[in-house]
Structure 1
Amino acid sequence: MSTKQFNKDNVFFGITPTSWWNDDFLDIDIGIPFEQCVSEMALAGFEGCSVGHKFPTDTDVLREALELRGLRVSEPWTSTYFTIKDMFDKTVADFRKSLDFIKTMGGTDIVVAELGGSSHQQPIALKANRPIFTEQQWEDVISGLNHIGQIAKDEGMRLCYHHHMGTGIETRADVDRLMESTDPDLVHLLFDTGHIAFAGDDPLQLAIDYADRIKHVHLKNIRRPVMEASDAGQFSFKQSIEAGIFTVPGDPEGFIDFDSILQTLADNDFEGWLIVEAEQNPANATPLVYAKMAREYLRKVTGF
């Protein structure tokens, strides 16, 4: 059995603000302010975070608030729309804004997902209504990602593609096609354990097969009974979140085998951000409790 460990100088633990409020569905919110969110992230033992809609947009203000708490930005999110009409220029412009932001904040990774036709933000059955790309749409998203991936590389940054529920790149088969068709020097993989499990595929096998392409990780756990209820009831993404489908690694209510996933990443010399992401309703899941649960689990498994 492997005992290889992460190089703690090159692996960083972060968390998203989606346990404190939701950035897709703004009514999933109990009024926790930005300052409390980032203070609790630091208190739980994390060193970085993605950005949410309550974060200051002034980079000087944001940097000061994060540095005060020993935090830094792990990644900005940028939605791409290469598969729908007349959105190429705006997609590239938005990506360049994210690129400028993360460079200013001292980071390296930009997270993107193709949301053309996505069902995940709509009040409709999530899986039944997700887009199935035509051949032309596949060509458009592949060429578009290679294009902005080159922009990122030229600036010393990394584009990390996030496979996502409700989108045209949701399942293992979709990820396979994306990885086979894009330039590995330009398009890296953001591996999201929860999204690939929710899609019905094996997160451990994805980690094994694409270890060389994975440059950024979202650690999201799933409560199997809620997933089964969501599938049976044709829930929307929001309904699934409100029902409690997601939780953190280390929660015994989740079913994903993070021990094996983390060992696989360590065995393949993963370097970069491991980001805890559990989109939970803070009214039902106290954010600090779950943030501490996740960090304690990661400390136990990795030793730091």
Structure 2
Amino acid sequence: MTQPPPSPPSPLSPSSPLRPSPPGSPLSRIRVGSAPDSWGVWFPEDPRQVPWQRFLDEVARAGYEWIELGPYGYLPTDPAVLTEETARRGLRVSAGTVFTGLHHGAAVWERTWAQVADNAALARAMGAEHLVVIPAFWRDDKTGAVLEDRTLTPEQWRALTSLTERLGREVRERFGLRIVVHPHADTHIDTEENVTRFLDATDPDLVALCLDTGHYAYCGGDSVRLIETYGERIGYLHLKQVDPEVLAGVVAAGTPFGPAVARGVMCEPPSGVPALEPVLAAAGKLDVDLFAIVEQDMYPCPPDKPFPIAERTRRFLRSCGA
């Protein structure tokens, strides 16, 4: 197994206005970061996305220490290169991200594992401890074309849960990472009913949850209630808000997720829902080490738009104690 590189020193000094929460505070074990998604990055390559160097420069300048890898291939995939680029900016990697379609059963395992292994190897080499797992979409996020039924059969649920457990076991054994499954709009793990069904059917030792507050609100869920009810399953957070007025129109029109994002359904905190202060407070009560990664879905977006939002969001989260 590839050994992770030494962790770079924190760029935050005790006198910095962006210093971490003081030891003993309710949020002292929550580590805040951001991700390429907050810079409008959805794909490894796209001319409408900012270059990776600009993302790294700006995410550090906005006051974040932790980042996710984003779509595999956007950031350099050579660990030596990426280690140098992140370390000189005072950045560290919290997780990689993969998309899966495990409800399709054993036939997709080898194809799934091939992309998981690449992502996991890079994440581990960068010193990360998590792999964010996002289920496949049931409709195309650009065209809205229905790809399959939005409701899984009992057989598909069994395939989803059993193969996710297998994924958790093999990722841990081969790479030393913990998988955190990300409920997501337009997937089969979305609403409170489906999220709790998934959690109840999977082994807590193998499968944790990446609670994305924006996606969960988008699908009608209550993040605070989920944390309070399934706290032991929360392994990772994505901090995000939705604009309730835009969301109401999206739901009424049956708009796919991609066009909904283009309409601004995911908005800058603290202007949307859910309120992040009670989410962070509930997470702080778990008294566990927890990443809280800002992800404001913006695709496509003007290249100069993300940085001011990222900087303001970091200040807002600091005002919440995180």
Q: CA RMSD in A?
A: 2.3
- Are 2:266 and 1:246 aligned? yes
Tell me the distance in 2 between the aligned counterparts of 1:36 and 1:110.
24
Residue 113 of structure 1, aligned match among 117, 134, 137: 134
Cα 1:121–1:26 shift into 2, 3 Å: farther
Deviations 1:61-98, CA, capped at 9 Å, x for gaps: 11111111111112111112222262112212322222
Partner in structure 2 of residue 18 of structure 1: 37
Kindly state the Cα deviation for residue 118 of structure 1 after the two structures are TM-superposed.
2.4
Give, in whole Å, the separation in 2 of the partners of 1:121 and 1:228.
Answer: 18
Gaps of 5+ in 1: none
- Distance of 1:233 and 1:140 partners within structure 2: 32
**Structure 2: how far apart are the matches of 1:47 and 1:225?**
33
Equivalent in 120, 143, 165 of residue 146 of structure 1: 165
What is the total number of aligned residue pairs between the two structures?
294
CA contact 1:6–1:270 (8 Å) conserved in 2: no
The answer to whether 1:61 aligns with 2:61 is: no
1:158 aligned residue (159, 172, 178): 178
Higher mean displacement: 15-24 or 287-296: 15-24
Cα shift at 1:156: 2.9
Structure 1 distance, partners of 2:259, 2:27, is 39
Tell me if 1:275 matches 2:303. no
The equivalent of 2:62 in structure 1 is: 44
**Residue 238 of structure 1: CA displacement?**
1.4
On the 8 A contact 1:130/1:168 being kept in 2, the answer is no
Q: Does the CA contact (< 8 Å) of 1:191 and 1:216 recur in 2?
A: yes
Q: How does 1:62-141 map to 2 (within 5 A)?
A: 62-84=82-104, 86-115=107-136, 118-124=138-144, 131-141=150-160
Structure 1 residue 100 displacement after superposition: 1.5
What amino acid does structure 1 have at the position aligned with 2:131?
Answer: I
Q: Which residue of 1 aligns with 2:7?
A: none
Q: Deviations over 1:233-260 (max 9, x none)?
A: 221211101100112333x2x1311111
Q: Distance in 2 between matches of 1:91 and 1:6?
A: 38
Distance in 1 (CA, whole Å) between partners of 2:37 and 2:131 is 18
Query: Please, which of 198, 203, 206 is the counterpart of residue 186 of structure 1?
Result: 206
Contact 1:204 1:257 in 2 (8 A): no
Identity of aligned residues (%): 28
Kept in 2, the 8 Å contact 1:249–1:276? The answer is: no
2:284 alignment counterpart = 266
Instruction: Give the aligned partner of residue 35 of structure 1.
Output: 53
Following the alignment from structure 2 to structure 1, what is the Cα–Cα distance between the partners of residues 280 and 27?
Answer: 12
With over 3 angstroms needed to count, the CA separation of the structure-2 counterparts of 1:293 and 1:139, relative to structure 1, is same
Asked whether the 8 Å contact 2:77–2:122 carries over to 1, the reply is no
Instruction: Indicate yes or no: 2:236 matched with 1:216.
Output: yes
Q: 1:244 to 1:261 in 2, by over 3 A?
A: same
Query: Counterparts of 2:100 and 2:181 in 1: how far apart (Å)?
Result: 10
8 Å CA contact 2:217–2:273 kept in 1: the answer is no
Point out the more displaced range, 76-85 or 286-295. 76-85
Deviations 1:159-182 (A, max 9, x none): 100011111111111111111010
Match of 2:16 in 1: none
- Deviation of 1:122 after TM superposition, in Å, equals 4.1
Rounded to whole Å, the distance in 1 between the matches of 2:304 and 2:267 is 9
Moved more, 282-291 or 43-52: 282-291
Against the structure 1 CA distance between its residues 289 and 208, is the aligned structure 2 distance closer, same or farther, given a 3 Å change threshold?
same
Structure 2: gaps spanning 5 or more residues? 1-23
Deviations 1:262-290 (A, max 9, x none): 00010111312110000124329811111
Given that residues 114 and 141 in structure 1 are in contact (C-alpha distance below 8 angstroms), is that contact kept between their aligned partners in structure 2?
A: no
What SS is found at the alignment partner of 1:75?
A: strand
Q: Helix, strand or coil for the counterpart of 1:74?
A: strand
**Do the aligned partners of 2:141 and 2:259 also contact (CA within 8 Å) in 1?**
no
2: CA distance between counterparts of 1:120 and 1:203? 26
1:294 is matched with 313
Give the AA of the match of 1:50: E
User: Shift in Å at residue 132 of structure 1?
Assistant: 1.0
1:137 is displaced (CA, Å) by: 0.6
Q: Secondary structure, in 3 states, of the residue corresponding to 2:102?
A: coil
Compare 41-50 and 77-86 and name the one that shifted more.
Answer: 77-86
Q: Which moved more, 1:168-177 or 1:145-154?
A: 145-154
Q: Does the C-alpha gap of structure 1 residues 241 and 284 become closer, same or farther in structure 2, counting only changes over 3 Å? A: farther
> For residues 6 and 97 of structure 1, what CA distance do their matches in structure 2 show?
36
